Structures are given as structure tokens and as C-alpha cells.
Structure 1
Amino acid sequence: MNQRVRPPPKGPKDRKIASWTQDPEGVRRDILAVARTEFAEKGLSGARVDEIAAKTSNSKRMIYYYFGDKEGLYRAVLEEAYARIRTFERSLDLGTLAPREAIARLTAFTFDYHADNPDFVRLVMIENIHHARHLATSSQIGSLNLSAIAMIGEIYERGLAEGVFREGLDPIDIHLTISALSFYNVSNRASIRQVFGHDMAAPDARARRCASAVDTLLRMVCR
């Protein structure tokens, strides 16, 4: 009687190949998630592709296949980080809200997003150390972030038309104020705690700062 011959069990190398061929986008997402943490914690110069490969169960060669080199991987991490916050912003459906409510909700969301995603803040800080040269070579960053200004511009124009917002403001200035209020609360946590003994990440302190950020924005844009 013929017996069915079973294939040998798959080893780690076989599983990597199967994952790559069956779910290439999943592999790419896995690499980006680990790389985001590594770059945020260690910076561009301190992060090592070997360590990223080991933590993703992918080969160094596979990472280079997807991203070209270490700087290409870092650029992709930045693009993914900006794409993520812009995607969440669009999900707020601010066009259905009155202008005052919309700008307040956007400010509160931005504040909370930064507080909940300190890796994003660290990546932006690191890229500023490099004078934004990786953002400058990205084909995606410009269009991604222009959508944020367009969103604020639409809210602002509605507010002007309804007579609730004051004239003479530039949407980029509104965006910069929202970003500054949100960014500082994360970027300076350690120094503020050391100098003043104040924990900006404590729930009550965070809630007060978020409310203050919303109030500041409304005072800036409203009549």
C-alpha cells in the first residue's frame, strides 16, 4: 500500500520566505513598527539595521529589499508617522461640526495624539536635528501635511462666513499654534519634571493642559 510522503517541517528560513511571499505588506508593516521604536529611542545614527532585522524575524537583506538602505527605512518610518496622524485627523469628520466645535475638537485630538504617541514627537525632534533633510527627499510628506492646512483652512473659512471667527488669520499659523501647544507637552516632559517637579504626563495635569490648549486656540480664532 502506498504511503503518503509528508514534506519535512518548515524551518525559520522557510517561514520567513512564506511570510514574505504570502503577505508582503504585512512584512513591511512589521518592519516599520519595529524600526519606528528603534529610531525614536536611538536616533538615526544609533539605530542598527541588524537589531531591527532580529526583532522582526526578517533578514537584513529583506529590509534592504523593501527600503533600499538604512536612510530609506528611516524616511519610510517618517512618512508612515505623518500618514498615521493625518489619517486620524480625517476620521474626525470635522466638516459635520460647527466651526467652533470643529477647531476645538481638532485641538483636543492633536494634543491627545501627541501625548499618546511620544514616539511621533521624538521622530520629529530627531529629524529637526538632521535639518529635515530626509523629509526634503520624501515624495509623500509634502502632500500629506498640506492636507492638514487645507482642513484648517476649510474650518476657518466656514467660521468667517458664519461670523464666529475673526479675520486676518492664516491657517498655517493656526496649525503651528495647535502643534506647538501639543508638541511641547511631550518634548519637554523630562526637563519640566526635573526643573519644577511637575509631571506633565500625570492624568490631571494632562487634562488641564489639554483644556488650556483648546481655550488658547478658541481665544486666538474666535471674535
Structure 2
Amino acid sequence: MKPASSRRGKPAATRRNILEVAIREFAKKGLAGARIDEIAAQTASSKRMIYYYFGSKQALYLAALEASYRSIRDIEGSLQLDSMPPDQAMRTLVGFTFDYQSQNQDFVRLVMNENMHHGRYIAQSTSIKTLNIPAIDGIRKIYARGCAQGLFRSGLDPIDLHASISALCFFHVSNQHTFSLIFKRDIMAPEAYAQRRANVIEMILRYMAA
């Protein structure tokens, strides 16, 4: 007989596997285009098992959104920004956001899809709202420390700062193909990527500077 811990771990692993595939499928095809049978075919489970764990395609889509937001916030929370000088902490946060979104493009595509639904499914999630509170609190703490040390100017809104960081990093992924084709510059090429990353960090820090 398998140990109890092994039996308990299998449903969790199965659920994670389903979510990983679902995130890819929903990011690629949207809620309407993704198919449960296609997701099942790419997992170690069945269509029946997916419905057992999640109940419906819409519930699976919402779970995929929640898992995607949880992933970025969990890593963000491990950056130990409180131990860094405020300007370094902000540089680290912006650089992390830029890299994470560029390296996890399904997250960006899921957010784009959800915006096409006018936030209908995120509105049903209490966990996504809760997950994003520490992100704003983190910026608020860095900003307050920077203001106290005379590094940052007063009067800025942490939510607006978060929006500016997200917008600059998000665009690099969401518009990469059209932008690269129109201006004949591969913005994901290593040299262009590094330069844009540095520019985004500098823009935010100069905007905040006292």
C-alpha cells in the first residue's frame, strides 16, 4: 500500500498538471476556443477528472487565472525588497516584472483575454483581489522609505505606480509582434531586450525621483 502522503499528493499533482495545461490552452485560444477534451489529452488525467476537480470549463478558466496571478505574486513576495535600499528595491521590482512577464507570456495573454471579457471572471474571484494587496503594499513601503530618505518625490499613488510598471512591462509582450514588424526591430533579441529593460527601469526611477 502506498504511504498516505503519496496518496494525498497525487490529487494535488494532478490538479497542478491540469492547471499548467489549461493556462497554456486558455492563453492561446481564449475561453471560447479552448476545449476540455484537448486539455485532457495533454494531461495525465481525463475529461471526467477535470470536471471532477473544477466543475466546468468556466471554473477551470478562473482557476487558471488565479494560479497565474498567484505565481507572479508568490515570486514577487520572495524578493526580500524590504532589506534593500528603496531605489535598489524599486529597480529590482521593475526588473523582475519586466523579466517575469517576458518569460511567462501566457500570463500576459490570459490577462488580455480576461480584459476582452471585461473582467467578468476576475470579478468572481476573491483570491485574485487578495493576492494583489501585497503587491500594492510592497510598493507603498518602498515608496514611503524612499520619500523618508529624500530619494523619491512626494504625492505619488502606489496603485498608479503599479499601473505604470505593469503597462511598460506588459506592452513589451502584448505588442511584440506588431511593434517588431512595423519598426523592423526584434524587440525580444537579447541586445534590444536588455536595452528596453534598462530603459523601463530608468523611466520609473526618474519619474519617482525627488
TM-score normalized by structure 1?
0.89
Aligned equivalent of 2:18: 31
Aligned equivalent of 1:63: 50
* Partners of 1:182 and 1:21 in 2: CA distance: 39
Aligned equivalent of 2:125: 138
Aligned equivalent of 2:154: 167
Matching residue's letter, 2:176: R
**CA gap 1:58/1:154 in 2 versus in 1, 3 angstroms:** same
Q: Bigger shift: 105-114 or 50-59?
A: 50-59
Secondary structure in 2 matching 1:166 = coil
Deviation readout 1:130-164 (Å, 9 max, x if unpaired): 00110000120001011110100011111111111
| From 167, 184, 187, the counterpart of 1:200 | 187
**CA gap 1:46/1:20 in 2 versus in 1, 3 angstroms:** farther
Matching residue's letter, 2:41: A
Deviation readout 1:27-79 (Å, 9 max, x if unpaired): 00000001111111111110000111111131111111111100000000000
Please, what is the CA RMSD of the aligned residues?
1.2
2:83 is aligned with 1:96: yes
| From 61, 66, 69, the counterpart of 1:74 | 61
Aligned equivalent of 2:29: 42
Aligned equivalent of 2:3: none
Unaligned runs of 5+ in 2: 1-5
| From 26, 29, 54, the counterpart of 2:41 | 54
Identity across matched positions, percent: 53
- How many angstroms does 1:20 deviate by? 7.6
2:95 is aligned with 1:108: yes
Matching residue's letter, 2:68: A
Deviation readout 1:66-110 (Å, 9 max, x if unpaired): 111000000000000000000110111000000010001100110
- How many angstroms does 1:22 deviate by? 5.4
| From 115, 119, 123, the counterpart of 2:110 | 123
Residues 34 and 56, structure 1, Cα contact 8 Å, conserved in 2: yes
Secondary structure in 2 matching 1:168 = coil
Matching residue's letter, 2:179: I
| From 167, 173, 176, the counterpart of 1:180 | 167
Unaligned runs of 5+ in 1: 1-18
Matching residue's letter, 2:65: L
- How many angstroms does 1:196 deviate by? 1.2
- Tell which structure's C-alpha radius of gyration is larger: 1
Secondary structure in 2 matching 1:50 = helix
Residues 153 and 171, structure 1, Cα contact 8 Å, conserved in 2: yes
Residues 20 and 27, structure 1, Cα contact 8 Å, conserved in 2: no
Secondary structure in 2 matching 1:169 = coil
2:144 is aligned with 1:157: yes
Q: Paired residues, what number?
A: 205
* Partners of 1:63 and 1:114 in 2: CA distance: 28
* Partners of 2:125 and 2:161 in 1: CA distance: 25
Aligned equivalent of 1:13: none
